[in-house]
Amino acid sequence: MELRKKILSYSESLEISKTHLELILDELEKKDWLSDDRFSEQFVSTKKRKFGTRKIAHELKMRGVDESIIIRVIEEIKNDEFFLAKQIWEKKFNQIPVTIDEKAKQIRFMQSRGIELSIIHQILSGKSPELL
């Protein structure tokens, strides 16, 4: 987990052995004071209005969260993915592109936010998911 990496980088200056640190972190996990599940759920909750599921999943993976946890928390927001992506698009553009350059710009922006290309095309075509 991310906390383990951060504390390890300071363990020498704090004069804490890696073995002792591992024991402390294991104890916190046993008492459920430290949880990848809770961290992941909170992370998704705070990021879903700014980023798509691809970017959120990538960020969780980079933070050392187990793949099974990532799949579970992403699955929880999958049903709302189109509407969350549309909110991101509306906040930035809120206008269907007229030129190819505008369309390319909007696609690049949405992809940089981790939104699936199929969802981007749905938004830019003006279709809702029920019509597809």
Domain boundaries, the chain: 1-34, 35-78, 81-131
Instruction: Choose among 36, 120, 127, 42: nearest CA to 81.
Output: 120
The answer to whether 43 touches 50, Cβ cutoff 8 Å, is no
Backbone angles phi, psi at 96, to 5 degrees: -60, 135
Kindly give, in sequence order, each residue whose CB lies less than 8 Å from that of residue 121, ignoring residues fewer than 6 positions away. Answer: none
- Given a cut of 80, whether residue 128 has pLDDT beyond it is no
pTM, rounded to two decimals: 0.79
- pLDDT confidence band for 132 (50 / 70 / 90): very low
Q: CA-to-CA distance for 30 and 32, rounded, in angstroms?
A: 5
